[in-house]
């Protein structure tokens, strides 16, 4: 059974979805860089160990990332799942966990990397928006894609209404992707996502929910 950790900075709704999915592995800890993160209490209330590595206690990004990596390895974490972890990780950290570090981003990458993705989608007038689960690489929001989910952009949408529909899909596809990696059906090799049998299952490549 593989051991995994989940990193959060706030309420961790994707963390909740991952834990409730009862993934085929052991969640050895939910770790936050903020001791006040609401998700820590939620996880602890369900018997999941929690840890805090407060970035404000370290003099540099490199020092914080080194401490975080040491804590993950001390716990025996084999897979690291970013779930609303609001830190840009250093290249050293990313390379240390290469192929074992996964993130979910609220856009159909490579469109709209970074923050405020829903506002950007509305401002540019795209008709389709969504979310992406990907392996993390040193380039921000540019890692190889595991699964995506698409939602239409409606005429009456606000950034809040669009975000809510995208978030609902995040809670579906992130556990799917994590399960596939934990079960060994999906991995990163030579900079690309490889599925068992070298074929991405059609139902996982892109989720388009019925409207």
Q: Are residues 58 and 83 in the same domain?
A: yes
The tally of domains found in the chain comes to 2
Q: Tell me, what CATH number does 59's domain have?
A: 3.40.50.170
Catalytic residues, by residue number, are: 105
Q: Are residues 112 and 84 in the same domain?
A: no
Q: Could you report the per-residue pLDDT of 143-186, keeping only the tens digit for each?
A: 999 999 999 999 999 999 999 999 999 999 999 999 999 999 99
Q: Are residues 17 and 69 in the same domain?
A: yes
For the chain, how many residues are written?
211
167 within 8 A of 13, measured Cβ to Cβ? yes
Q: Are residues 18 and 87 in the same domain?
A: yes
Q: Are residues 89 and 157 in the same domain?
A: no
The span from the CA of 99 to the CA of 135, in Å, is 7
DSSP-H helix ranges across the chain: 13-20, 38-45, 61-74, 91-96, 117-124, 159-182, 202-205
Mean pLDDT of the chain: 95
The span from the CA of 3 to the CA of 72, in Å, is 10
Q: Are residues 72 and 152 in the same domain?
A: no
Q: Are residues 119 and 162 in the same domain?
A: yes
**Two tokens, residue 190:** 């030579």
Q: Are residues 48 and 72 in the same domain?
A: yes
Q: Are residues 92 and 115 in the same domain?
A: no
Q: Could you report the per-residue pLDDT of 80-102, keeping only the tens digit for each?
A: 999 999 999 999 999 999 999 99
Residue 198 has pLDDT above 90, yes or no: no
Q: Are residues 114 and 204 in the same domain?
A: yes
The pLDDT assigned to 205 comes to: 65
Q: Are residues 109 and 210 in the same domain?
A: yes
The pLDDT assigned to 196 comes to: 86
Determine the structural domain holding residue 33 and report its residue range. Answer: 1-97
**Which strand (E) or helix (H) includes residue 131?**
strand 128-135
Q: Model confidence at 206, in pLDDT bands (50, 70, 90)?
A: confident
Q: Are residues 93 and 144 in the same domain?
A: no
Mean pLDDT confidence for 97-123: 98
Q: Which residue, of 38, 70, 97, is where some domain finishes?
A: 97
The span from the CA of 178 to the CA of 204, in Å, is 12
């Amino acid at each position: 059974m593989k051991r995994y950790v989940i990193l959060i900075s706030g309420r961790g709704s994707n963390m909740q979805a991952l834990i409730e999915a009862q993934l085929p592995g052991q969640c050895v800890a939910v770790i936050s860089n903020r001791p006040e993160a609401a998700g820590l209490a939620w996880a602890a209330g369900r018997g999941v160990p929690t840890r805090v590595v407060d970035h404000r206690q370290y003099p540099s990004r490199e020092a914080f990332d080194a401490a975080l990596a040491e804590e993950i390895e001390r716990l025996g974490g084999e897979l690291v799942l970013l779930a609303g972890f609001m830190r840009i990780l250093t290249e050293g950290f990313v390379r240390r966990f290469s192929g074992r570090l996964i993130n979910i981003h609220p856009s159909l990458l490579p469109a709209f990397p970074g923050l405020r993705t829903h506002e950007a989608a509305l401002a540019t007038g795209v008709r389709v928006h969504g979310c992406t689960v990907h392996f993390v690489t040193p380039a921000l929001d540019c890692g190889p894609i595991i699964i995506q989910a698409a939602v239409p952009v409606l005429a009456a949408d606000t950034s809040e209404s669009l975000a809510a529909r995208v978030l609902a899909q995040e809670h579906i596809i992130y556990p799917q992707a994590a399960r596939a990696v934990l079960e060994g059906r999906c991995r990163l090799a030579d900079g690309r996502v490889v599925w068992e049998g070298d074929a991405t299952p059609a139902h996982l490549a892109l989720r388009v929910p019925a409207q």
